Structures are given as C-alpha cells and as structure tokens.
Structure 1
C-alpha cells in the first residue's frame, strides 16, 4: 500500500476519528431516542392522569438537556476533525457531500431551540402545547441522524459526480446524498438509536429494581423505554438482513472480510467464530451453505473470496469478522430478552418473575452499545483501505503534517474529562429529588429516583 504520510500518523488519525465517532455516537443515539421516550411518558401522564409518568418525563427531560450539551461539544470536535485530519477528502469531495452536513446543521439548531423551549416552559405553558413543543425535538433528532449517515453512505457507494483529468465535475449533491446505500444504512442507524436509547434507559431502572425499588415509578421507568426498544429489535434484525444483502451486492470484499472468506466458492458456509491465520479462517463453526443462502437467497450461489483482491486492498479481516460476530450476537441476545418479556406479559400482564430477567435487562444497555459500536466497526473498517470506496484511499485523504499522534493524545484527554464530567452530573441529577409538576402531585415528590 502506498502511504502518503508516516504509518504512525495515519494510524493516529484513524484512532482519533474512531475514538471521537465511537464516543459521540452513543450520545447521538440518546439524542434520537430519548426525546421520543420522554414524550411517550408525558403523553401517558396527560392521558391517564398518573403522576408517575409526568415525574419520569420531567426527570428524563433534564437528563436530555445535559446529554444534548455534551453531545454538542463532541459533535463540534468531530466537525473540526473532518477538516483537520482528512483534508484530502474534504478538499476534493466537499462540494459533493457538503449538502447533508449543511442540512444537519439546520436540524441541530431546530433541535436546540425547541429543547430550550421544552425545558424552560415546563411550568409556563399549558400541558398540551408543552407536549407538542417536544415533537420538533424528535423530528430534528431523527433528521440529524439521517443527514449525517447519508454522508457516510456516500463514502460506501460514491455517486453524484464525475472525475475528469483529476477534477471533480458534474456535481449533483442530491444524487450524492440519496445514493444507493442511503436507504439501508440510514434506517439501520435510526433503529439502532432507538434500541440504544431504550435499552440504556431501561437498564438503569433494572438495576434499581434489583436493589429492591419495585414501586410503580421504577416499574414504569423500566417498562416505557424497554417496550419501545423491544418492539424495534425484531424490525432491526430484518433491516440488518437487508443491509447485509446490500453489502453482498455492492461491497463483496467487505462481505468476504465479515465472514472470513478467503477462497471463492459456491455454497459457502456461514462461519460462527474463527480466527484468520495465514490466509485461512480457522477454528470456526461452519453452517453448510449458510452464507450463500443468506447473501443471495440461493444455497449454491457464489461468494467471492479475498484471494481475488490484492493484499493491499483487503480490509483487516479479524477486526471486521469479529465486529460482525459481536453485532449479530448482541442483536439476537436482545431479541431473546425482548421475547422473554413479551411472553411473560402475554401470560400474566407483568414482568417475568425470575431475577435473571432483571439481571439480563440490566446488561441490555451495554449489549446495545456493543452492537452499535461493533456495527460501525464493520462499516468503517470493512471499507478500508478506502475512505471513499474504490475511489480514494484513506492514506491519500489524511493530513500529511507530522505529529498527528499528539492530537490523538489531546483528544483522548478531552474525552476522558468529558466522560467524568458527564457521569458526575448525571449522578448528581439522579440523587436529586424529582420536582412536582402540579400541586396535586406533591404527595409523590419525596421519591428518590434514578
């Protein structure tokens, strides 16, 4: 592989981007899913008159404000990193992919404005108008995720331009934004955001219930986000299959890395586990014809192996393969947990009686985040060595200035500080007494809530 800069600087730039994206994406998911969950609680409070819903909505709204502020900081860091770390990409293709970033900025400002209204006007607006003021937050959050992911989808399947004599011409930003990868990738990401938000929020209340807090407040705090995430999970698995078929048709090298396929073959098996060693995937459990069937709906279809690609053009197989394995394993584990809950609710309209359910639910937030991070690892590492698939190498896009490793060190310290500060503020918020939202609700204002 031809490297435009020192190998250490290239690795440092990629590690810094991975850290920033991996950290920010969790907050972005909470920014997409948490407003919807909060509005559901507030709506149920208005509909039923149950004070617990309103107290939950108010507590979650305060947490939303904290997470939005921190997410704005990490998002700003990312926007600077795009230009500082990858000037080759932005300088060459900025005119092609600039539109979704501009639209994301508009969505961000709309979200910020209405979040301010929603938080400030809790006791200053009538209940229904206040609840309606939260709808733009949900819409803008989903829109922000959509616009950003379209830019990444374009990096997977670049369209909307022509290159003539090294110059980018005939630019069509709309065609670039609505490239073939946009539908599966944006839907997959938005559903993942609701899963992460729902399971993370539910896991907090699962821990509280394991500690003996089984009152209605904590039960509802668990049920609302968990139910939303559980409903999304089977849909997400179906969308994941759609996305995998898209990869099989458009990025066969990535598919080969995901499954550790080194040799082209018909009736390729599906691999569970395994380690790539010396051009072979070893120690894997094989399901005969499984990969051919899943990728092309035919047990005898051909799967192209990595042997057809120059070694310099292959993605890191073990990282891509194991990230894919983790994503799928976490997804099906969360599906099993969701079905456990559904069966118990159908039988007796209550949570499963086993404490193992709550223990598993307490880990569901971590599992959802692991699936999210693993999925993005597959998407990004599986595209290597290309930053724009088949068009521009990552080494050609990175900043040629030396010393990028020090930027990685500095950003790592910044994110460490942000993590400590965010956890501290949220823990302080958890220890606060909930604020009564109406005089008749003061009888439950002495709850200590998480």
Structure 2
C-alpha cells in the first residue's frame, strides 16, 4: 500500500499511521540515545583532564571531580548500551527495506562500531575498578582507550548516516546489490563534515551539560573551590570547542548547498530559484510562502556560494511530493543556529573576562547563563539532527529509496511505538534517580573545603 495524504496532511490509511509511528519511534530512540552518546564521547576526555590536573597539581578537588564523573560515566555508558541496543534492533524491525537491500553496504561501520564499543567497555571497567589498585599514571593511561573508543564509535555510526545522505560504494541492478565497496561507502562525501560536526557537538553537550550542574549549585550558594572547578573545567572545554563548531557548521552548510539543495531550500524557506537570495531569520511557511521573516539582503547567496549574487536553488525545482516538511526543517535550523551563537556569546564572555582579569565572570547572570547552557546545547543538538534527518525526507537513502519503501509492511507498528515510549520513560526516570543518588555520595576523602565567598577566583 502506498502512502497518501489529504491536502491537509492528515493520514488516511492504517499504513500511513504505521509509517508515522515508525518514524516517531526512530526519532524518539535516536533523539534519546544521542544525548547519552554525547556524554559517552565527551565526558571521558573531561574526566581524564580533571584527573591529570589533580595528579599534576596535587589538588584533591580535581581528583574528587574525576572520581565522581567517572561513576556517572559508568552509569551513562550502561544506559547508552541499552538504548543503543534498542536502536540496532529497530533498524531491522522498522526498516527491513533499507537493511535488506543495503545492509551489506553499510555493515562495515556498524561492525567497527561494535569493536570500538567493546574496547570502551573493557577499559571503562579497568578505569572504574582500578582507582586504588594502579599507580596514578597507569590509571590515567587506562582512560585513554576510553576516550579514543568513544570518539571512534561516534565516527563509525555517523559514517553510516552520512552514507544515507550521500550513497556511494555500490552498484544497484534490478533492485539488487551486485557490487559493494564498503570503504567507499563509509568514506562517502558527507562523512568529513558530518562526523566532525557531530563529534564537536558531543564535546559541547558534555562540557556545557556538566558545567550547568555546578552553575546551579553555585547559584544556590555553594561557592567553594570544588564547585568552582566543577563549573570551569568542563565549561572551558566547551568554550574552546564552540567557535570551532561554528566554523565546521559553515562547512557543513556549504556541503548541503552543493549536494542537497532541496534540504537547504527547506532550511531557509526558499521556494523559488534565484540569485542574490536573502538570509531569513524567523518566519513561517503559509500557503507555499515564507512569511514574517526578517531578511538580510544577499545573505543566503553569500553564505552558500561565497557570492552575493550566487545561485540558490528553490523547492520549485522538485515536485512537492519530494519536499521535506518545510516549517519543521526551517525552524529546527533557526533554533540550532540561534542557540549555537548564544553559546558562542557565553564562551566569549568567559574568554574575555578571563583575559582581562585572570578570573571568570563573577556575575550572577553569567551563572544563570551557564546553568541554562546544558539544556541549550542539547536543544541545539536535537534541532541539528532534525535538520539532518527530516530535511532528507521523503528519502531514507537520498535520491535512491523512499522512507515509505523501507518501512516494515506488517501492521501494528503503532503499538510498538507506545511500548518503546514507556521503556524510554522508565529509562529516563531510572537514570535521573541513580545520578542524583551518586551526586549525594562522597567517593573519596577530600581536603576541607574553602568557606563560601561572593567571588570565585581560581588560581
């Protein structure tokens, strides 16, 4: 049964409802897992940095932070393993058309990701249980494979998604794969910008997310050295990464302009091909037209083509049936860029104040902004993935296979979505509960804390 909708966009058949349920289930699973995965990529490096600082300076507060973060890291790794397993089953159960046709093409990165996962698990076990059994230097060295394996896992998984954006490395004849070059498939044209963009996003989510916990505590009056370091160390890592991420985002946008012009048109609400196209801020699509947007003359042409008179292709170049949901993609892109620049401003605030005074900002507004930065980074991450995934629709493999062709034809996918929603609700509650319990424990003795003060200079 083929997909059909009314002019109002209301689903008209049970098959449509199942397709929508499959997409929502995949969106929920991916959106939930990707946050945990970001901490799995960025948190080990920040934890190892804290341990190294503690070993080098002899400051017990760094060691306490490292040990506490390591315990939280273990919890998040276990939860991520559960949500990752759910995702791997969903690839086959929800999208047999994709995996049945192209499984051998994208199998290599998933296999390599499995190897990286086991390396990370092995050394995480060593790192967690050898705090008092290994010399400090050897213990720190045991954490390096965790960092490398976490980054490698993210890289391999994202290469598979990049292939879905720019499919290469195969020959398809009469609906069947007759030749495969798995390395060419994995290192497809979308791999460089997409993997770098994702890995940097992971460090931003981890850094801002960890810092926000201590910013909230400091707003509640806990201005001792332990909380100051807990704020500044991950916040500094995120602040260093943020301007780099802005540059990589521009690189990724140029790639989209050259290789997925329909996605770019949806991101900016461009319906007609033209030159000297303005950049749109805000706005909403009504009756095939972007309205109420603030326009920056020639902005989009300049950003997309490095030419104020550059050509930008509009949605009019493809049939309406090949358009993604324009309002969803447009607003997701607006949120991602807006939040990204807000985090850049926070990073600049920290950098300028430190450069001028050799101490971080003492303003309560800075702490409030830092407290919100964790949620903001997650919001930008989710918005970015909406742009990436929804902007590719209606294709599951760009230009080759439609999402409706890949979905499981068996009825009842709606019930599976309901069940998975309950599972993720339970996982969320359990994860928050365990992390809050860990935050109340003191895993190692520390030196007496400094008295509360109004400022928080760190020397």
TM-score range, shorter chain: over 0.9
Q: Which residue of 1 aligns with 2:197?
A: 188
Q: Does 1:123 align with 2:132?
A: yes
Q: Does 1:114 align with 2:123?
A: yes
Q: Which residue of 2 aligns with 1:157?
A: 166
Q: 2:113 aligns with which of 85, 104, 108?
A: 104
Is the contact between residue 224 and residue 449 of structure 2 (CA under 8 Å) also seen in structure 1? no
Q: Deviations over 1:25-80 (max 9, x none)?
A: 00000000000000000000111111111010000000000110001000000000
Is the contact between residue 242 and residue 343 of structure 2 (CA under 8 Å) also seen in structure 1? yes
Q: Distance in 1 between matches of 2:298 and 2:371?
A: 37
Q: Which residue of 1 aligns with 2:224?
A: 215
Q: Does 1:312 align with 2:321?
A: yes
Q: Secondary structure at the match of 1:271?
A: strand
Q: Which residue of 2 aligns with 1:330?
A: 339
Is the contact between residue 3 and residue 396 of structure 1 (CA under 8 Å) also seen in structure 2? no
Q: Deviations over 1:77-98 (max 9, x none)?
A: 0000000000000000000000
Shift of 1:433: 2.1
Q: Distance in 2 between matches of 1:270 and 1:100?
A: 37
Q: Does 1:339 align with 2:348?
A: yes
CA spacing shift, 1:2–1:313, aligned 2, 3 Å: farther
Q: Deviations over 1:396-450 (max 9, x none)?
A: 00000001000000000000000000000001111112323xxxx46569x9xxx
5+ residue gaps, structure 1, are none
Q: Which residue of 2 aligns with 1:3?
A: 3
Structure-to-structure mapping, 1:234-249, within 5 angstroms? 234-249=243-258
Q: Which residue of 2 aligns with 1:140?
A: 149
Q: Which residue of 2 aligns with 1:262?
A: 271
Q: Distance in 2 between matches of 1:444 and 1:90?
A: 56
Q: Which residue of 1 aligns with 2:9?
A: none
Q: Which residue of 1 aligns with 2:56?
A: 47
Q: Secondary structure at the match of 1:170?
A: strand
Output the TM-score relative to the length of structure 1.
0.97
Q: Distance in 1 between matches of 2:231 and 2:204?
A: 14
Q: Which residue of 2 aligns with 1:77?
A: 86
Shift of 1:255: 0.3
Q: Secondary structure at the match of 1:286?
A: strand
5+ residue gaps, structure 2, are 5-13, 453-459
CA RMSD of superposed structures (Å): 1.4
Q: Which residue of 2 aligns with 1:88?
A: 97
Q: Distance in 2 between matches of 1:194 and 1:306?
A: 34
Q: Distance in 2 between matches of 1:188 and 1:12?
A: 29
Q: Distance in 2 between matches of 1:3 and 1:281?
A: 27
Q: Secondary structure at the match of 2:180?
A: coil
Q: Deviations over 1:239-282 (max 9, x none)?
A: 00000000000000000000000011110000000001111000
Is the contact between residue 225 and residue 449 of structure 2 (CA under 8 Å) also seen in structure 1? no
Shift of 1:170: 1.6
Q: Does 1:387 align with 2:396?
A: yes
Q: Distance in 1 between matches of 2:35 and 2:174?
A: 41
Q: Does 1:38 align with 2:47?
A: yes
Q: Which residue of 2 aligns with 1:169?
A: 178
Q: Which residue of 2 aligns with 1:295?
A: 304
Q: Distance in 2 between matches of 1:405 and 1:122?
A: 47
Q: Distance in 2 between matches of 1:369 and 1:279?
A: 31
Is the contact between residue 61 and residue 447 of structure 2 (CA under 8 Å) also seen in structure 1? no
Q: Which residue of 1 aligns with 2:369?
A: 360
Q: Which residue of 1 aligns with 2:35?
A: 26
Q: Distance in 1 between matches of 2:448 and 2:376?
A: 37
Runs of 4+ aligned structure 1 residues displaced above 6 Å come to none
Q: Secondary structure at the match of 1:405?
A: helix
Q: 1:423 aligns with which of 416, 424, 432?
A: 432
Q: Secondary structure at the match of 2:360?
A: coil
Q: Distance in 2 between matches of 1:312 and 1:322?
A: 20
Aligned residue pairs total 442
Q: 2:360 aligns with which of 327, 344, 351?
A: 351
Q: Which residue of 2 aligns with 1:230?
A: 239
Output the TM-score relative to the length of structure 2.
0.95
Shift of 1:183: 0.1
Q: Secondary structure at the match of 2:223?
A: coil
